[in-house]
Amino acid sequence: MIVRMSDKGEGASKALAGAAAFGAAYAVRKLMNLGWKRFTGKEPPTDPNDPAVGTAEALSWAIALGVVMAAVRVLAIRAASGRMRRSVDKADKSAVS
């Protein structure tokens, strides 16, 4: 029975994708905070129930952050998975040769 390297790497691939998504989310959150401060001159809203935060401001922040975070998460997971897949494919090819 031949055990391929790709069979062993599935758990590692998921862990790497999760770590990449977490790291990307952390970095994007920091950049979004800086961008919001520069654009609006205020701190981003942290509590949507705060009466000092307007509905439009809270909704704008939620939409902007949600869209950007989701897009970056997808890109980070795809990049990490692609990198892992390529390295496993190389290991499989060298094991067969």
pLDDT in tens, 56-96: 999 999 999 999 999 998 888 888 887 777 776 666 666 66
pLDDT in tens, 8-42: 567 777 777 778 788 888 999 999 999 999 999 99
Q: Give the C-alpha separation, 38 to 43, whole Å.
A: 9
